[in-house]
Amino acid sequence: MKTRHILLLLTVALLTACRQAQVPAVFQQLQKEAPIYPDYAGVTIPVNIAPLNFELLLTADDAVARFSAVGHEIVCGGLKMCPDIDEWRALTAAATGKQIKVEVYAEKDGKWVSFMPFSIEVSPDSIDTWMSYRMISPSYVSYEELTINQRCLETFDEEVIVDNMLCTTESGGQCVNCHSYQQWNPERMQFHARQTHGGTLIAYDGHVEKVNMQHDSLLSAGVYPAWHPTEKLIAYSTNKTMQSFHTTDLNKIEVQDTESDLILYDVDRHEVRTIEQQPNELEIFPCWSPDGRWLYFCSAHFEYKTDSVSLEEMTLRAKEVKYNIYRKSFDAQTRLFGNRELVFAADSLGMSATLPRISPDGRWLLFTLGEWGCFHIWHHDADLWMMELSDSTSLNHQAEMINEKTVQPLDEANSDDTESYHSWSSNGRWVVFSSRRYDGNFTRPFFTHIDKDGHASKPFELPTADPDRHRQLLKSYNVPEFMKGPVKLSPQEVANALKTEGKPISYQSK
Amino acid sequence: MRVNRSLPYLFALLAALLLAVFEPDLLYTAEEHSLFLDTPFFLEQQMVRAGGLLTWAGCYLTQFFYYPLLGATILGLLWAFLVWIIRYTFDIKSPWLALFPVLCLLMTITTLGYWVYYLKLPGVLFDATLGTIVAMALVLLYRRLPDRYFLRPLLIALSTCITYPLFGFYGLWATLMMGIVAEHNRTKTQRLSAVVLALLSIIAVPLLCYHYVYHETNIVNIYWTALPVYSVQGARSFSYYTPYILLVVSICLMAVFMGHEVTKTRRTSVVVKVCRSVGALLTLTAVVVSWNRDANFHRELAMQRCIEKQAWEEVLSTVHKWKGEPTRAVCMMQNLALYRLGRTGDEIFMYPHGAARPNAPFPIQSVHTIGKQLYLQYGVVNYCYRWCMEDGVEYGWTVERLKLMAKCSLLNGEMAVAQRFLNLLKKTTFHRGWAKRYETFVHQPQFMMHDPELAPILPLLRTDDFLTSDQSQLEMFLIEQLISTPGNTREQRDLANFIMRYYRRNQHPLVEK
């Protein structure tokens, strides 16, 4: 008898716990939007994205959200709305090319209210299934735990590819940075490690190799990378970098180059040659065109008034450093580059352009534009701009181009705060970019849809299993890059490779 | 007789209460330099390395040092329990012997000194106590298990697999002790197999975890997770491990000699008594001698606490509570108090000045200790924020850093990021009230003008901006800031002039190494 009672109680408790959330029958309709985080109202999403979990930012006893589209419906309860992943997939599949309607209800002291419903546009354009990024505190000089992670965009699965702590001892730390892939291929990857066990790790179709790119003829080892789309070549900038800190400006940190050049690394031959080494020019951020015939890059003209390179002068004249976008033709047969051609003269607008990235169809050039310098992640004014490339791209009439709308800010994606690093998806329909729109200090990845005319949609933040995660996380997402699949290397395999001696390079003058 | 039996437990409690009496500022600082958030994400962040549950629990208990007496009482009760479990596990006749590990644990705290700012292990004040209790409990379970159905070997293997991820080093230590007490198994084969299994488990489980579970720990450190690392800038201070070594060795010896009865003759009885008395005397002497009583360290802790309370007169009275040449940190804090009270010009000569080297086995840079608070109080908000971020990244997030960053963000008008830090503090037990109070300024920043702490800082905020760096030289940078402030006040000039004159006169290097 006693056992039966206990079983009955357990069953009732279980049923209560599993109670299906229900939309209230009686409620007061409010004429205001639901205060939710992340802001998913009116965004466009790919059909294969993970559920857009969100939380209600108000004091309520209970809440319910209904996601509905063409005969499908998901009802979630609680202050955190986390649709079941299978139900979400069925819903987005049904709503492809249409909208999902989201109604949010909240209960306080027994009374229900309903907020204005919002919609989510489901694009039939799918997104690459994986993305990688570096998790880093928005720090200044110090670093401790740094990881390069990969995340499945269709689910919430997150894995670590590289963890610097595996190579860190109390006598020496390690910085890892600048992960990059050839054509979104996770089998062809590179990243750098600095300090303890420093070097560049290159993984290519199962072969993992550490390269020591330090050479007397180079300013530094390779820094910002760009894989050639078809050849086993990587263009790098080499930089003499310095850091300084604003006493009152909210931009807080500035990273500047006192000198920088461009080099080309041949993965098979372990050979480096100079691409650009012009006097009084600071070259940075190489990027190949999708056909591999052009190398785009940024360059700022800067003449030191003192006789030699001076850190102090560079700091004092920091705001004079304005980067333009250039390109050079490249012949893959001869491995020779042509002369530099100006693509976008940001300085003529009193601005500085960084991080050029060409869409996979070769039509659009996406870049970041800020007032000065190259470290735009800490510039609150930095925005994404898009330029339509054409055969007549030998252009320096920026004002005309802006009037003709061949160059324009990506207003739909930009915010009042920082937008910086960006990367195209392999189908060219999605861009992932770094944004500090929520608080100006911590970077989160956002995705925007780019239609065939180059128009962006309202971006959405990377969804997380716990929607509060990004509000608690004191780290930034750095260098978000799409991938067609996951990297198969384990962090331990990467660490073992890093602990080996780096293969030395040979240097060929230009 | 009954009173006599319970005395060791009272002593254990008393040992912890001694901390509340003699080291309240240290306990409070330990709490301020720790963080426990009541969220699954915080637990998840701790569990990324072996020993995660232990550090999570350590952080949970450390928050009670917000009231030093409360925290010390909890610690004392745990120590009393430890005495009991050690006695019970090893069938120790004299409970006084079980006090020795407790005194070792006490020493891990009393010897800390400036490490309180630099240790990276979360919940360090409780970790060793909790880890030892867990290890003892496992050994006790092992002993109480029936010696059949391979239950004991099974426990050795299983417990290592479970407790290493949860408790790190302490899980391995428990396995080692199970191997030792296996000596009391019935057959030689059983004894040998238990020892071999224990050793294999100790070697293999961390390696397996390294390869298949964790990615946060270098392979050279996998056997020591959940132990503090006494190292700054690559130089290890091995002497600070002494209490840990004594703790481990003493308990292992108890395991080794468990059940070994000394044949009672009158002579041996006397020898044992003498040995015990000498041992007790030596232990107590070690505790007293090793106790960090550095005047400047304690002065700095007390002054920081006063600054946090905005008790400026108390800051000044604290200076005189200890004798000896002060460190620059002490001088900087007393100068700040005089500056805030508007008495720099009149009274700065009446206070001790000096540049004593902080009593620590590594170079102390004030940006890592009092620097952040001083930057904030002098209105150099971006540099306060910077060092909070630097230290947060390197030494971990703490209540102190989050509070300072929230204040900096409020003063900078960065309300969204201020709200982020306040949201985190609202998830703590003892600081949510503070966070809610400061949240008012997010929505109504004009109220900052009436806040006793923020109001005096507001006029110090500058509008001109420079790209520069302090090179970790706090005082030099502060002087630069004071001198270069457009339209600086007499108070600011007096302070800067005095410090410059002090350095010229005493030929002290104005550079912190």
pLDDT digits over B244-303, tens only?
A: 999 999 999 999 988 766 566 677 778 878 887 888 889 899 999 999 999 999 999 999
A459 contact partners, CB below 8 Å, separation of at least 6: A43, A412, A413, A433, A435, A446, A447, A448
B239 within domain boundaries: yes
Domain shared by B217 and B356, yes or no: no
Give the distance, in angstroms, between the CA of residue A8 and the centroid of all CA atoms in the same chain. 53
Maximum pairwise Cα distance, chain B: 87
Helix (H, G, I), strand (E, B) or coil at A261: strand
Tokens of B374: 């001083």
Q: Taking a C-beta distance cutoff of 8 angstroms, is the pair A73, A65 a contact?
A: no
B41, B215, B471: best to mutate for the A interface, most A CBs within 10 A:
B215
Q: How far is it, in rounded angstroms, from Cα A56 to Cα A58?
A: 6
Would you say residue B221 has pLDDT above 80?
Answer: yes
The CA distance from B1 to the nearest CA of chain A, in Å, is 47
Local structure of residue A307 (DSSP, 8 states): S
Burial class (CB in 10 A: 0-12, 13-18, 19+), A368: buried
Q: What is the pTM of this model?
A: 0.94
**Cβ contacts of A248 on chain B, cutoff 8 Å:** 381-382, 461-465
Mutation choice for A interface testing from B38, B236, B382, B422 by most A CBs within 10 A: B382
pLDDT reported for residue B90: 93
Chain A residues close to B42, C-beta within 8 Å = 472
Among the candidates B212, B243, B264, a domain finishes at B264
Contact, A269 vs A281, CB < 8 A? no
Together in a domain, B20 and B66: yes
Q: What residue of A is the nearest CA neighbor of B418? A: A439
Alpha-carbon Rg for chain B in angstroms: 26
Q: Which residues of A touch B41 (CB under 8 A)?
A: 466, 468-469, 472-473
What amino acid is encoded at A501 in this protein?
A: E
**In chain A, which residues have their Cβ closer than 8 Å to the Cβ of B416?**
438-440
Sheet holding A460-461, edge to edge: A419-424, A430-435, A444-449, A460-461
Contact at CB, B414 and A469, closer than 8 angstroms: no
B234, B427, B462: residue with CB nearest A248: B462
> Cβ of A439 and B219 within 8 Å?
no
Please tell me the distance in Å from B374's CA to the nearest CA on chain A. Answer: 15
Query: Length of chain B, please?
Result: 513
pLDDT given for residue B390 in this prediction: 95
Q: How far is B415 from chain A, CA to nearest CA, in Å?
A: 8
> Mapping DSSP to helix (H, G, I), strand (E, B) and coil, where does residue A403 land?
helix
Give the angle A276-A325-A148 at the CA atoms, nearest 5°.
Answer: 80
Domain for residue B11, yes or no?
A: yes
Tell me which of B242, B264, B286 is where a domain ends: B264
Give dist(CA A374, CA A347) in Å, integer.
Answer: 13
Whose structure tokens read 């502060």? B478
The band of B185, judged by pLDDT with boundaries at 50, 70 and 90, is: low
Assigned token pair, B478: 């502060």
Handedness of CA B421, B423, B429, B434 (dihedral sign): positive
Same domain assignment for residues B255 and B363: no
Q: Is residue A370 exposed (0-12), middle (13-18) or buried (19+ Cβ within 10 Å)?
A: buried
CA distance B175 to B159: 7
Whole-number Å distance between alpha carbons of A211 and A227: 15
pLDDT at B493: 83
Contact A472 B41 (CB under 8 A): yes
Are A449 and A410 spatial neighbours (Cβ–Cβ below 8 Å)?
Answer: no
pLDDT digits (tens, 9 = 90+) for B434-492: 999 999 999 999 999 999 999 999 999 998 999 999 999 999 899 888 888 887 788 88
Within a domain: residue B271? Answer: no
Q: Round to whole Å and give the CA distance between B458 and B450.
A: 10
Task: Choose among A138, A441, A466: nearest Cβ to B41.
Answer: A466
Q: Give the gap in angstroms from C-alpha B237 to the nearest C-alpha of chain A.
A: 12
CB contact under 8 A, A440 and B385: no
Q: Taking chain B, what is the end-to-end CA distance rounded to the nearest angstrom?
A: 58
- Asked if residues A365 and A387 have their Cβ atoms less than 8 Å apart, the reply is yes
Q: Is residue B88 part of a domain?
A: yes
Pick from B435, B427, B439: nearest CA to B41:
B427
Nearest of B293, B291, B289, B340 to residue B314 by alpha carbon:
B340
> What stretches of A95-222 show up as alpha helix (H) in DSSP?
none
Q: In terms of domains, do B449 and B404 share one?
A: yes
Set of chain A residues whose Cβ sits within 8 Å of the Cβ of B419: 439
Residue at B450 is within a domain = yes
Q: Same domain, yes or no, for B225 and B374?
A: no
**Residue A264, strand partner residues:** A235, A273
Nearest to B468 among A143, A170, A247 (CB): A247
Contact list in A for residue B463 (CB cut-off 8 A) is: 248
CA A336 to chain centre: 31
Q: Closest-CA residue in chain A for B481? A: A247
CB B431 within 8 A of CB B400: no
- pLDDT on residue A18: 44
My answer on whether B71 and B145 are in the same domain is yes
HSE value, Cβ hemisphere, 13 Å, CA-based, for B376: 27
Min Cα separation B12/chain A (Å):
34
Residue among B211, B217, B393 whose CB faces A142 most closely: B393
Beta-strand (E) ranges in A70-129? 72-77, 80-81, 99-108, 111-116, 118-123
Chain B residues 357-376 within an 8 A CB cutoff of chain A: none
Counting one residue from chain A and one from chain B, the pairs whose CB atoms sit within 8 A come to 125
User: Is B423–A442 a contact, with Cβ atoms under 8 angstroms apart?
Assistant: no
Closest by CA position to A330, among listed A235, A394, A395? A235
Number of domains making up chain B? 2
Give me the residues paired with residue B217 across strands.
Answer: none
Do B345 and B203 share a domain, yes or no? Answer: no
Contact yes or no for B215 and A491 at CB 8 A: yes
Residue among A172, A440, A441 minimizing CB distance to B234: A172
Q: B332 and B243, same structural domain?
A: no
What is the nearest CA distance from B104 to chain A, expressed in angstroms?
Answer: 25
* Residue where one domain finishes, among candidates B264, B282, B310: B264
Instruction: Judge whether A461 and A445 are in contact, CB under 8 Å.
Output: yes
Is B216 in the A-facing interface, judged by CB distances under 8 Å?
yes
Domain hosting residue B344, numbered range: 295-506
Q: What whole-number distance in Å separates Cα of residue B212 and Cα of residue B511?
A: 47
Residue of A186, A150, A145 lying closest to A166 (CA atoms):
A145
Select the residue of A248, A252, A439 nearest B420 (Cβ to Cβ). A439
* Structure tokens that stand for B371 in this block: 């620097």
**Least Cα separation, residue B504 to chain A (angstroms):** 27
Cα–Cα nearest to A234, from A260, A216, A211, A253: A211
The verdict on B468 and B365 lying in the same domain is yes
What local confidence, expressed as pLDDT, does residue B188 receive? 82
Both B259 and B345 in one domain: the answer is no
Average pLDDT, chain B: 92
Q: What angle do CA B419, B425, B429 make, to 5 degrees?
A: 150
Which is nearest to A375 in space by CA: A302, A481, A478? A478
If you measure CA to CA, which chain B residue comes closest to A174?
A: B218
Give the residue from B103, B89, B124 showing the smallest Cα distance to B18. B103
For residue A492, the chain B residues in CB contact (below 8 A) are 210-211, 215
Q: Is B440 on the interface with A (CB under 8 A)?
A: no
Structural tokens at position A203: 């993984």
CA-nearest residue to B384 within chain A is A247
Cα B33 from Cα B399, distance rounded (Å):
6
- pLDDT tens series, chain A, 510 aa: 455 565 555 555 554 444 578 899 999 999 999 999 999 999 999 999 999 999 999 999 999 999 999 889 999 999 999 999 999 999 999 999 999 999 999 999 999 999 999 999 999 999 999 999 999 998 778 888 899 999 999 999 999 999 999 998 887 888 999 999 999 999 999 999 999 999 999 999 999 999 999 999 999 999 999 999 999 999 999 999 999 999 999 999 999 999 999 999 999 999 999 999 998 999 999 999 999 999 999 999 999 998 789 999 999 999 999 999 999 999 999 999 999 999 999 999 999 999 999 999 999 999 999 999 999 999 999 999 999 997 555 455 566 666 666 899 999 999 999 999 999 999 999 999 999 999 999 999 999 999 999 999 999 999 999 999 999 999 999 999 999 999 999 999 999 999 999 999 999 875
Q: Rounded to the nearest 5°, which phi and psi values hold at B360?
A: -150, 150
Three-class DSSP category at A296: strand
B467 to A244: CB separation less than 8 angstroms, yes or no = yes
Mean pLDDT over B136-162 rounds to 91
| Residue A183 CB partners (closer than 8 Å, separation 6+) | A227, A229, A426
List of residues 6+ apart from B412 with CB closer than 8 A = A250, B381, B382, B385
Q: Considering the domain boundaries, does residue B269 fall inside one?
A: no
Residues of A whose CB is below 8 A from B462: 247-248
Whether B217 and B324 share a structural domain: no
pLDDT at B490: 81
Chain B residues with CB-CB distance to A243 below 8 A: 469
Amino acid identity at A8 = L
Q: Do B331 and B463 share a domain, yes or no?
A: yes
Query: Exposed, middle or buried by CB within 10 Å (0-12, 13-18, 19+), for A77?
Result: middle
pLDDT for B509 equals 61
Q: Which of A257, A297, A255 shows the shortest CA–CA distance to A276?
A: A297
Q: Can you tell me the distance from the alpha carbon of B250 to that of B101, in angstroms, rounded to the nearest whole number?
A: 7
Tell me the residue type at A260.
S
In a domain, residue B512? The reply is no
Facing A247 at nearest CB: one of B414, B424, B462:
B462
In a domain, B511, yes or no: no
- Facing residue for B390 by CB, picked from A139, A169, A440: A139
Nearest residue of B to residue A171, measured between CA atoms: B234
* Domain architecture of chain A: domains with CATH: 26-123 (2.60.40.10), 130-498 (2.120.10.30)
List the structure tokens of B281: 């005397």
Distance from CA of A201 to the nearest CA of B (A): 18
Maximal CA-CA distance, chain A: 97
